[in-house]
Amino acid sequence: MSEPNVLVNFRLDRERPMRIQWRATDGVPGEGYKAQVTAIHLDEGAPLAMDSSAIMEQTAPDPAGGPGAYVVTFNGMVGFASDHADRARIEQLEHAELAFELVFVRNADGQLAVEGTDYEIRERPRAIAHKLTRRHA
């Protein structure tokens, strides 16, 4: 019998962050722009349906990358109820690497930064998903 709710931790750790080079001049990540994970993709490619506020993104200057270099990480717990549209896919998941989509949103007006113009992705490692289960004593 499956659990009524299943929690999954989605994360991109600081040991393997996404690395970007920022070019826009009207703000930077953390000061004028906010990173936002917009989709998580399991191996078959279709995005998981989830609330956009479920994942917390962090950006920080990357001293090793020089001026304009930033690292991006994220971490979030997402609950999937028994009637969730993606529950069958989540039931198959234990621990996996996965793809993700991320944008940078300008705080002032909600406009999106343009990849290739406002920033360049230097490294995009796969994120990690780990399903949490009840421990039986």
Give per-residue pLDDT as tens, 52-81. 788 999 999 999 999 999 999 999 998 888
Torsion over CA: 132, 95, 104, 19 (sign):
positive
Q: Output the pLDDT for position 137.
A: 37
Q: Output the pLDDT for position 134.
A: 59
pLDDT digits (tens, 9 = 90+) for 95-128: 999 999 999 999 999 999 999 999 999 999 999 9
